[in-house]
Amino acid sequence: MPNKKLSQIGEFGLINLIAKLAGKSKNLIKGIGDDAAVLPYTKDKYLLLTTDMLLEGVHFVQKDGAQAIGHKALACNISDIAAMGGVPIWVVISLGVPANLKINFIWDLYKGVSRLAKKFNVTIVGGDTNASSKIIISIAHLGEVAKKDLVLRSGAKKNDMIFVTGPLGGSLKNKKHLQFIPRLAESQYLVKHFKPTAMIDISDGLASDLKHILDQSKAGAFVYEKFIPKAKGVNLKQALSDGEDFELLFTLSPKEANRFLGTKKDFPFFYIGRIVDKKEGFVLINQDGRAEDISLKGFRHF
Amino acid sequence: MPNKKLSQIGEFGLINLIAKLAGKSKNLIKGIGDDAAVLPYTKDKYLLLTTDMLLEGVHFVQKDGAQAIGHKALACNISDIAAMGGVPIWVVISLGVPANLKINFIWDLYKGVSRLAKKFNVTIVGGDTNASSKIIISIAHLGEVAKKDLVLRSGAKKNDMIFVTGPLGGSLKNKKHLQFIPRLAESQYLVKHFKPTAMIDISDGLASDLKHILDQSKAGAFVYEKFIPKAKGVNLKQALSDGEDFELLFTLSPKEANRFLGTKKDFPFFYIGRIVDKKEGFVLINQDGRAEDISLKGFRHF
At A299 the pLDDT is 45
**Nearest C-alpha of chain A: how many angstroms from B256?**
31
Contact A138 B51 (CB under 8 A): yes
At B11 the pLDDT is 67
User: What are the tens digits of pLDDT across the range B37-62?
Assistant: 999 999 999 999 999 999 999 999 99
SS3 state of residue A107: helix
Q: Are strands A87-97 and A123-131 parallel, antiparallel or unpaired?
A: parallel
More confident residue, B9 or A227: A227
**Nearest C-alpha of chain B: how many angstroms from A217?**
19
Contact between B250 and B202 under an 8 Å Cβ cutoff? The reply is no
Range with lowest mean pLDDT among A19-28, A110-119, B160-169, B266-275: A19-28
d(CA A146, CA B16): 35
Tell me the whole-structure pTM to 2 decimals.
Answer: 0.94
ipTM: 0.92
User: What would the 3-class secondary structure string for chain B be?
Assistant: CCCCEHHHHHHHHHHHHHHHHCCCCCCCCECCCCCCEEEECCCCEEEEEEEEEEEECCCECHHHCHHHHHHHHHHHHHHHHHCCCCEEEEEEEEEEECCCCEHHHHHHHHHHHHHHHHHCCCEEEEEEEEECCCCEEEEEEEEEEEHHHCCCHHHCCCCCEEEECCCECCCCCCCHHHHCCCCHHHHHHHHHHCCCCEEEECCCCHHHHHHHHHHHHCCEEEEEHHHCCECCCCCHHHHHHCCCCCCEEEEECHHHHHHHHCCCCCCCCEEEEEEECHHHCEEEECCCCCEEECCCCCCCCC
Q: Using a CB-CB distance cutoff of 8 angstroms, which residues of chain B are in contact with residue A129? A: 11, 14-15, 301
pLDDT band at B126 (very low <50, low <70, confident <90, very high): very high
Contact between B240 and B292 under an 8 Å Cβ cutoff? The reply is no
At A3 the pLDDT is 66
User: What are the tens digits of pLDDT across the range A161-205?
Assistant: 999 999 999 999 999 999 999 999 999 999 999 999 999 999 999
d(CA B274, CA B231): 21
Contact B96 A136 (CB under 8 A): yes
Q: Using a CB-CB distance cutoff of 8 angstroms, which residues of chain A are in contact with residue B14? A: 103, 106, 129
d(CA B12, CA B33): 10
CA distance to A130, A137, B226, B284, B285, per residue, from B288 (Å): 38, 48, 9, 11, 8
Contact between A125 and B22 under an 8 Å Cβ cutoff? The reply is yes
Question: How many contacts does A have with B, using Cβ atoms within 8 A?
Answer: 262
Sequence-separated contacts (24+) of B113-119 with Cβ below 8 Å: B113/A21, B113/B70, B113/B71, B113/B73, B113/B74, B113/B139, B114/A21, B114/A22, B114/A23, B114/B70, B115/B67, B115/B71, B116/B70, B116/B71, B116/B74, B116/B75, B116/B78, B117/A23, B117/B74, B117/B91, B118/A23
How confident is the model over B61-78, as a mean pLDDT? Answer: 97
Q: Using a CB-CB distance cutoff of 8 angstroms, which residues of chain A are in contact with residue B92? A: 37, 49-51, 140
**Nearest C-alpha of chain B: how many angstroms from A15?**
8
On the question of pLDDT at B20 being above 80, the answer is: no
At B70 the pLDDT is 97
Q: Which of A295, A287, A293, A284 is nearest to A223 (CA)?
A: A284
Contact A99 B24 (CB under 8 A): no
Give me the numbers of helices (H) and strands (E) for chain A, helices first please.
8, 12
d(CA B61, CA B301): 17
At A26 the pLDDT is 81
Q: Name all domains of chain A by residue range, CATH numbers in brackets.
A: 7-148 (3.30.1330.10), 151-293 (3.90.650.10)
Contact B49 A126 (CB under 8 A): yes
Least CA distance to B136: which residue of chain A?
A: A136
Report, as ranges of residue numbers, the positions in chain A whose pLDDT lies below 50. Answer: 299-302
pLDDT band at B12 (very low <50, low <70, confident <90, very high): low
How confident is the model over B254-262, as a mean pLDDT? Answer: 97
Range with lowest mean pLDDT among A9-23, A241-255, B173-187, B223-237: A9-23
Q: Using a CB-CB distance cutoff of 8 angstroms, which residues of chain B are in contact with residue A98? A: 6
SS3 state of residue A164: strand
- Percent of chain B at pLDDT > 90 equals 82
Interface test with A, best of B1, B3, B4, B6 (most A CBs within 10 A): B6
Strand partners, B274: B161, B222
Interface test with B, best of A123, A212, A300 (most B CBs within 10 A): A123
Q: Using a CB-CB distance cutoff of 8 angstroms, which residues of chain A are in contact with residue B73? A: none
Q: Which of B138, B151, B41, B150 is nearest to B97 (CA)?
A: B138
Interface test with A, best of B58, B105, B119, B138 (most A CBs within 10 A): B138
On the question of pLDDT at B299 being above 60, the answer is: no
d(CA A72, CA B179): 36
